[in-house]
Amino acid sequence: MNKNYKNIIGVTLIEMLIGIVVSSIIIAAMYTTYTVVNNSYSQVTDVASISRSGRDVVAMIMRDIRMAGFKYFYGVNVENELRPIDERIPSQDYLTFIAGDNEADREDSMAPIVIYPDTLNYGTATAQAGYDTIDAEAELNEMCCDRIHIVYGDFDIAGMNENPKQPYKKYRITYFARALSKGGDQYYGLYRSKESWIQPLNPLTDSSFGQWKFDCPECYEGELVREYLTDMSFAAIGKYGEIIKADPVLNADKIYDIRSVDVTLTFRSSAKKGFYRNLTGKPRIIKSLVREAFEFTDKFLRDTIFVTVHTRNIGSI
């Protein structure tokens, strides 16, 4: 037998167990710290995403509202006047003006801004792949949403080359909401559509009637702009600061008095686990300029963006 056997240093079972316990505590503490940091990071990222995407959407809506009522004038110039009469470009568009001041022509209105309060959906487009459209929007139990039509004119260079008698176009941009469901989470999606006014070449001899269509090359129907919309409201403001009902049927004599539009957009966080912890049950409130306050008690964060957009091209007819 080795005489030095009893001098060999080893680890006893008790020491091993103590080491395992201490290691487990350290690992558990590290995991807890990681979870807390990761959740905090997810929340901060979610808040930043809401703010950033909200600003992008608002910038898009502002650009379109500022275009409302724009009309392109080619004007009179020597080069154009030297052309044969049947090849001259008209100094301004001659597209048929549809006031839309009755129910039959309401959807064909060329009024620069028309607002449909508390109105979801537009056109026939369905939700994109990966989303389920909810027919019963009441299931979401939230306030939502207005729909807005924005109309402006433009000069159609391609159309001038192909069809010199119709060098002008009118476009209609529509922002609307649609209830969606994805992975069991239900919310609204913010959509944008672009249409063009299609008119017969010779309205005097062609019996067909002009209308808004999605079939122009640059047009599209129901493109999803942003998910997790809670509310979208628009308030048309007149030249004296009063709120105007932007509806050509109900307020035809005032619809061209719009001088600005107050836009309110509310988005919520996307985190499935929610944003708030240790709720006390006290409801939080969302307010809109044209709607009653809405209370909610879930764990989602909601961020509201409010801007006033001045209309640059709207005046009396």
Counting the structural domains of the chain, the total is 1
Residue 315 belongs to some domain of the structure: no
Q: Is residue 2 part of a domain?
A: no
Return the biggest CA–CA distance within the chain: 124
Residue 302 lies in a domain: yes
Please state, in angstroms and rounded to a whole number, the distance separating the CA atoms of residues 51 and 33: 27
316 within domain boundaries? no
Q: Is residue 245 part of a domain?
A: yes
What are the phi and psi torsion angles at 78 (to 5°)? -60, -45
Q: pLDDT at position 282, please? A: 74
**Domain range for 56:** 12-310
Residue 39 lies in a domain: yes
Its pTM stands at: 0.80
Sign for the CA dihedral angle at 110, 115, 118, 122 comes to: positive
| Contact in structure between 134 and 120 (CB atoms under 8 Å) | no
What are the tokens at 267? 């988005």
Distance, CA of 230 to CA of 305 (rounded, Å): 12
User: Each residue of 83-124: pLDDT tens digit?
Assistant: 887 777 878 877 778 888 988 888 889 999 999 998 988 987
**What is the chain's length?**
317
pLDDT attached to residue 171: 94
On whether residue 196 sits in a domain, the answer given is yes
Q: CA nearest 145: which of 63, 78, 231, 217?
A: 231
In a domain, 125, yes or no: yes
Question: What pLDDT was estimated at residue 8?
Answer: 58
For 91-118, b where at least 16 C-beta lie within 10 A, e where not — what string?
A: eebebeebbbbeeeebebbbbbbbbbee
Q: For the chain, list residues with pLDDT below 50.
A: 138, 317
pLDDT of residue 115: 95
d(CA 215, CA 221): 9
